[in-house]
Amino acid sequence: MSAHVFMITVDVDDEALAEWNSGSDRNGGPFPEDYSNWSAHDLLSRSIDYEIIDPGGCELSYLGQAPEPSS
């Protein structure tokens, strides 16, 4: 298995994110407001399901194979 690096650029609907956070208990738990705490699942599944991002408006760039960790 090898690691690869992708950059995903998304437009976030700030109102939808704020609305989701205000009702997060009803929606199944917290959705991090701090993007640095988002997981791939947050970005690629939950945020699309809750219409926080539009997958059609995303840009995906392949940056190459990740460098091997030095030992």
Predicted confidence (pLDDT) per residue in 3-34, tens digit: 999 999 988 888 888 887 776 656 555 566 67
* 42 belongs to a structural domain: yes
Domain that includes residue 21, residue range: 4-65
* 50 belongs to a structural domain: yes
Name the one residue in this structure whose structure tokens are 């960790």. 69
* 48 belongs to a structural domain: yes
How many domains are contained in the chain? 1
Phi, psi angle pair for 60, to nearest 5°: -120, 125
pTM value is 0.61
> What is the structure's pLDDT at 20?
78
Q: Is the pLDDT of residue 68 over 80?
A: yes
Higher pLDDT, 41 or 4: 4
* 70 belongs to a structural domain: no
Give bridge partners of residue 4 from the DSSP assignment: 65
Encoded tokens for 23:
């009702």
Q: Is the pLDDT of residue 53 over 80?
A: yes
* 71 belongs to a structural domain: no
